[in-house]
Amino acid sequence: MSAEAADGRRLLAAAALLALLAVGVALVTEHAMDMRPCPWCVLQRLEFVVIALVAAVAWLWRSRGGLLFSSALVIGLANLGLLSALWQHFVAAASASCNLTLADRIIGALQLDSLLPAVFAATASCADAKVTLLGVPYDFWSLSVFVVVEGLAVWAVLRTMRRAA
């Protein structure tokens, strides 16, 4: 494996760790600071977990093609996360209820709220979950992590492609 591909794998490993850290912080703020999550918050947790899994597979996958494919998936998932965070902030937080929204339906269909309620149960409405952490809207923290994760994945692609050029 080339040094560039190894760098790409390390960048995706960093993206996986950052995604898991984001979920960990969300769980601490929920359970220790009583910042209850709405369905959109929970959907973003799921997106972070899936990003971490895909990035971990990329780290284990030793081929250049596998690394590029996994990086592309991480980029796509990070974009979905960006959209989720923006939707939460600009649309969902302005409504009194977020029952039966796309986020609520996805979590319900996957039954994650009943399988792992401590992680994936939405316990607040979107309006109630509109909180700040250190003066910044919570959903913008999530948004910034998705941006960094996407940047790491793009950087991994560029490092991996460097050898081909």
Mean of pLDDT values over 4-22? 88
Q: Is the pTM of this model over 0.85?
A: yes
Give how many domains the chain has, as a whole number.
1
Mean of pLDDT values over 77-89? 94
CATH number of residue 145's parent domain:
1.20.1550.10
Which tokens sit at 7?
């760098």
Residue 126 DSSP one-character state? T
For residue 58, pLDDT beyond 90: no
Q: Which domain holds residue 64?
A: 3-162
Q: Determine how many CB atoms are found less than 10 A away from the CB of residue 113.
A: 17
d(CA 74, CA 80): 10
Mean of pLDDT values over 13-18? 95
For residue 26, pLDDT beyond 60: yes
The rounded mean pLDDT for the chain is: 87
Tokens 């769980």 sit at which residue?
A: 27
